[in-house]
Structure 1
Amino acid sequence: MARLYALLTPDDRLLFARARGRDWIVDEDRSGIETRGRNVTVFLNGLDVLGLNVSIPARYDNEARRAAPFAVEDELAESVEDSHVALADIGKDDAAQTRDVNVVSSSRMAELIQFLTDEGLPEAELIAAHSLLPAKNILFEAPGLVLGRINGRGFALDPSLGRDVLIGISEAHSDLEIHGVQVARALGRETQSPGATSLETLLIQLAAWAEAGQPHIRLRQGAYEARRHVDIDGFGHWKFAGLLAAVTALGWFSSVVLETSAMNNRAQALDNLTQEFARIGWPEFDGNVQQAMAEARSVSGQGTQGYLNLLDATAALYDAMAQVEGSELRTVRYDRVRRQMTASVAFQSFADVDRLTAILNSGSLSARSGDARQSGSKVIGDLTLETTG
């Protein structure tokens, strides 16, 4: 069934948009909605959703989601423990690439999920409007709202904040694209379009961006992921072919379960490495990872010459390992006195040790390898990383 798009209005109503050929029909008609709203995407104005663009050193998407709260905590006005962090799906294969992130309070997410449940749409998706904006510096005017993206950060502003706020965020960006007469007048610039002059036209524009495949962030991730229900009432009516399909599906599901278990085991191993890293590098914090990272940021913020930034070094290491097939990180240690990070990595051959060292040295870090040794079918190499300055 076709995807339906909805806009949550300021008075907590839902307007729905349906594609009809090249046009859109917008009304409050709920026909065409699948069970539990699983084909519905609800757009939020985004006033209570913070958009960020951060560097997250991770090779895999589940690792990135675990690391995201630590990457954004300095940007938040409230505790990261009270916030929900959602990541864009794009760029997940590049450990050095920045990721678009949306942050919303956990209490607000709980309210939104309850609202969807009350509306009979417990499996509908949620997207902040500003996460759909094109990837450029842009301001887009809508009724009672200004959507924006500047330097990769998405946001929504209440126009009542005044002209000075708009000037403050835009004056350094001569390439800013403006859609909206009032915003253009306030900034003394030209406008490319009127923006959205009604809630209906705003919904149509957001739906058009989504249908065109514009990258965006789903807010329903992690603990707020929609729980899909499976209807098996018709199982007794299946014929032989249907049963074969069911057996095949069960086999596929079992393989997914095994893969998920392996991913969870790897994530747990990384958590253990991080814990050991904090325990050895900062013994006074008794293995408290958050305190250790806070201390690292504090020292880094003091501008100490030659200080090794832990997140940057880890990102560089992961990025380099991605270029050496079969390499596996075993342990990481940090020496605060020498300002060095030592990584023990398993390789498929002795030549791979030199290859990884060369890749790291071609970047912003200085790397040297110690004596490599054979361990079973693997070669274990110890690499020492430090700044080049």
Structure 2
Amino acid sequence: MSARLIINLPVAADDALRWSLCSAFGDVLTSGEGLETFALPAGTTVSATIAIIPAGHVHMRRLVMPARSDNAARQAAPFALEEYLATPLDTQRIACGAADESGARWVAALDASLAERWQNALEALAIRPVFAISEALLLDPAEGELALAVHVSSLLWRYRAGTEDAAGSIPEALADMMIPALIARHQPSRITLAGGEGNDGLQPGQLPLHRTGPLDPVQAAASLDMAQLQLMPALFGARLAASLDWPALLKPWRRVAGLAGVAAALALAGIGAEAAWLAGEARRYEEAGRLAFAEAFPDTRRIVNPRVQLAQRLRELEAVDTGGAGFLPLAGALAEAMQGMPGIEIVAVRFEAGQAALSVSARYRSFDDFEALRGAGEAAGLDIADAGARQGADGVSGEFVVRWRE
């Protein structure tokens, strides 16, 4: 069964909250005082919590504000209420409700310390959504009427006409003086006078009277239309006014989200480390390619892209490799002459196209190896001329030129 929880908020800090659980028809199912006594009957769910604020401690008024958005209306609300308040704005908690079809909004001001204390109590109850309403707004006058009712030790009043809807309370001792002022200000067409104890002495003047039964705030709050409640300002914060407590629902997932964030950070760190390693390997391979190209072509002064430069060198060799004086025939003849000579190691070969000769850098164990190579070259039709050599600890490093014998 669905029910509404009605809470009467106490002004004194020592007083307990009075609560009532009501059916959709306003019948009180159960009630009590103090949060410790509250318990939901089996099979009962609360569709809404309505917090009744003593009218003497809250100012609620329906105003038309030139605001294009809810945020702009919230910013304008303090200035719209300032002329109606007798207390400094910095001592008040001010809230603004949603606009209705006419563009009017409910704007409310409540003492900030009271609002804080009541909000803490309502959050401890943890039943949402919570709607706050002045007990004076529980009066229901017709269009153009001024509704009055004595409640506890004050006189509640509410006037409604067009977009104007204002309510409040007057100390009972000042009723005779304040009622004529209310009538003069609002010019009501008639007065609705709630019956019951304390109302017989009210003298609203010569205006028509419409008597009703005594005001029962709990029953009146339980019977309020949900659309009307949703227009009320969220005096106790948007979290309490929401149907779902999203922070509480998401709390169990915070740790999961944190672990997922840590895992993502570690994965990104691993990817970054791998990318750095691959970049280092690429640089090492590039440097090795440069060194190999420099050894193969020592005459090259600037090495930018070994792959491209090697292809360019091959194209140059192919372009000049014509007839028997080309690079390939000479290189092939030299390779054939070196067969059976393991003591000779070719370090670099450079083709001199203008001279139709090979300039060769080599290492060999002794000068006898070079003489043997020269003899084998002569037998193959080659002229191998010494271009310089030097003796080292690990053998001879020499240069020689290879061309065809004339």
Give the TM-score taking structure 2 as reference length.
0.47
Q: Going by fraction, where is strand more abundant, 1 or 2?
A: 2
Q: Which has the larger radius of gyration?
A: 2
Question: Taking structure 1 as the reference length, what is the TM-score of the superposition?
Answer: 0.48
